[in-house]
Amino acid sequence: MALGRGFTVMLAGMALAIGTSAVHAEPWVTPFRGHVSFGYAKLFATDAPGGSLAFAAGIDHPLSNTLRAGLDFDFALLGTRTVPRGSLVADVDYSAVEVLAMLHWQPSWRVPIGRVSAGAGIMGARAAVSTSGASEFQDLPVSEVAPAVALEATLISRKTAPVRVGLETGVHVGFVSSETWTVWDVRLAFHF
């Protein structure tokens, strides 16, 4: 519990420090904005575990008053499941890493959604098996880089501030050859 609070305080401090330094940055750096977020992710695939931690970071640059473009880097620990087969048991650890080119739109409507994002990129999908009888579980491992798409919405204030805190949720789809990996996440986001 204390580790989680310490990590939260550290991320908030980093976002505040970066946001504050951006106010005094060189003119060519000023239009760039970034964000970091952390929370929960759940994989929707055959026999997927219950989900676990998700982290993301990104940087973007304005294209117009309401549209920005940038890169996002996402990492999700998607949980572990135990697979028994006869007298043998295997643990399968799921994770995903993504690099996405994103478009971020700031809608003008009067609802709390301050940012809608969509993009495409690649997903590194991994299901690692640990067992003493590996030959019985050869059908379970996944280690593949696949095309991916993402759609996200963020509840966040539209007011200008050095650091803005929001709640983002999204769906990321990786087109893995064995089956499609759909990852849903909800994260606390710091925009600076």
Token reading at 101: 């080119």
Radius of gyration of the chain (CA): 19
pLDDT of 15-27, one tens digit each? 454 454 444 445 5
DSSP string across 145-157 = EEEEEEEEEEE--
**Side chain identity at 99, as an amino acid letter?**
V
**Side chain identity at 62, as an amino acid letter?**
P
Architecture of the CATH domain 2-191: Beta Barrel (2.40)
Domain boundary assignment for the chain: 2-191
How much is the average pLDDT of 25-47?
82
pLDDT of 146-188, one tens digit each? 999 999 999 998 787 889 999 999 999 999 998 999 999 999 9
Is 42:51 a contact under the CB 8 Å cutoff? yes
pLDDT of 105-135, one tens digit each? 998 877 789 999 999 999 999 998 887 666 6
How much is the average pLDDT of 76-86?
89
Those residues whose C-beta lies under 8 Å from the C-beta of residue 149, and which sit 6 or more positions away, are: 118, 119, 120, 172, 173
